[in-house]
Amino acid sequence: MRSTYGKSVVVGVSCAVLLSGGGLVAPAAYAVEKPVPAIPKLTDEQGRTLTLRGWNVEDKTNRGDDALSAITEKHFRDMSAQGFNFARLLVFWDDLEAKRGQYSSTYLRKIDRVLDWAHRYGVKVLLDGHQDVFGPAFGHRGIPEWATRTDGLPFTPNPDDWFSEYFQPAVQRAFTHLYEDKDLQKAQAAVWRLLADRYGDHPAVFGYDFLNEPMGELKEGEDLPTAARRIERDQVTPMHNRLAAAVRSVDAKKWLFVEPTPIVGEGVPTGLGRIKDPKRKVVYAPHFYNTAMEAGADYDPTEGWIERYEAAVTQYPKQYGVPVVVGEWGPLNNDGPNMGTFYRDALASFARYSSGWAGYVWCYGGGYCAVDGAGKLRGHKQQTSAPYAAAVTGRVRGETYAGGSYSLTYEGSRRGGVETVVSVPPSAKGWRVRVTGWGWTGTREVSAGRTERVRVYGVPGKRVTVVVQKR
């Protein structure tokens, strides 16, 4: 978070509330429920319970000296102004190591610049090792061409359905070689060791996401769910463990994010195994996409997709005791008759089991873009901007947001001097923030169109309630 938040307001004798400003759009309401107790929450080095809410940030078009040029300081300023505190930054191995063994210092300096912008605006960053359809050998981004081995198998592009290209023989064989060839294993580990060594102490970096949407090679006669679980068990889990060991050799602090295949989006439980980390800082990071909605269909609340997804995706974190952050989500079609219901249902589901999410994608325009050219959240995406507890010092006893009213109740911890932070996004008429607890009460008015980070200091062992209501 930013180090300066503006005026300090002392409430009673046992807490203080500090606020900061800047903002654009009023949020829409949705219901939030307590998380599933069996799934732990993210924490920071001070032991506070964290919630991450934000967006993916990317530049898939520009490469070489122009890489990352589509990402500007404005991205992070505008995200922060809407109350978001998290960005999943797409980084590409083919940009970093286009020629084997030669790492681009220019690309690394550009990542430096982006991270400095994020830190300036209090946005935590997840470095995402991104790939789409493996990489540039198939007309996409990700794994360098020199690391792409196809054994001469065919590849036929299908620009009208790019996801189907994952099932081309050459692409599937390339994944097999990435997972199983010793020299490629070492090269991939070296990349993550380099990134962790360079950014392990950067204040904006929260963690590392090793490989976006890993896929693999289907065996003859194997259905897709069976293949996905096998690939996750036999190939993706060992890969995650190799890369976790590489990162931990130079960075003992940051969180390690591990993804299943994107097949989990159809409500299929993952086959991932345990990720070995002596620091016990592993995050399960599935994506949340529906095949029909990705093709442009409206949300069908009677179909039960969100319920199936939640039932399936919570099995792994319950089994291995790891937090969940949804790494990508958000449909291409933002304007269907049921899209308002979709955002409400999705956000409520995330609140039951996750420590946060990153929507896809923070850009200025149409399609998947979160905001329009003026920086205003588009249509139903406005529901993503709502009050939430970014950091809680103590045990959360209850959290709700509905009807324009947010409420957080927590029991203060014995870590003296460590604040609880509630993010309050812009609203057309402003907000009223009321803090109550053992022996004191205080109220603060938040003016229209401003974003506030409300900081509360509670009494150890005593309950504190923060209520944020629209004026």
SS3 for 266?
helix
Q: Check residue 441 and give its pLDDT.
A: 60
The CATH number of whichever domain residue 374 belongs to comes to: 3.20.20.80
- What residues contact 105, with CB distance under 8 A and at least 6 apart? none
Q: Are residues 401 and 360 in the same domain?
A: no
pLDDT tens per residue across span 12-32? 223 444 443 333 333 344 444
Average pLDDT over residues 246-251: 98
Q: What total number of domains does the chain contain?
A: 2
Q: Is pLDDT of 462 > 50? A: yes
Global pTM exceeds 0.75:
yes
Residue 119 lies in a domain: yes
Which of 359, 385, 411 delimits the end of a domain? Answer: 385
- What residues contact 269, with CB distance under 8 A and at least 6 apart? 229, 312, 313, 315, 316
Residue 44 lies in a domain: no
By C-alpha distance, which of 384, 369, 407 is closest to 86?
384
Q: Are residues 7 and 137 in the same domain?
A: no
Residue 429 lies in a domain: yes
Q: Are residues 368 and 332 in the same domain?
A: yes
Give the integer Cα–Cα distance in Å for 99 and 85.
35
Domain enclosing residue 381, as ranges? 52-385
Burial of 348 (0-12, 13-18, 19+ CB in 10 A): middle
SS3 for 467?
strand
Give the integer Cα–Cα distance in Å for 143 and 129.
9
The CATH number of whichever domain residue 424 belongs to comes to: 2.60.120
Which of 350, 385, 420 delimits the end of a domain? Answer: 385
Q: Is pLDDT of 411 > 50? A: yes
pLDDT tens per residue across span 335-384? 899 999 999 999 999 999 999 999 999 999 999 999 999 999 999 999 99
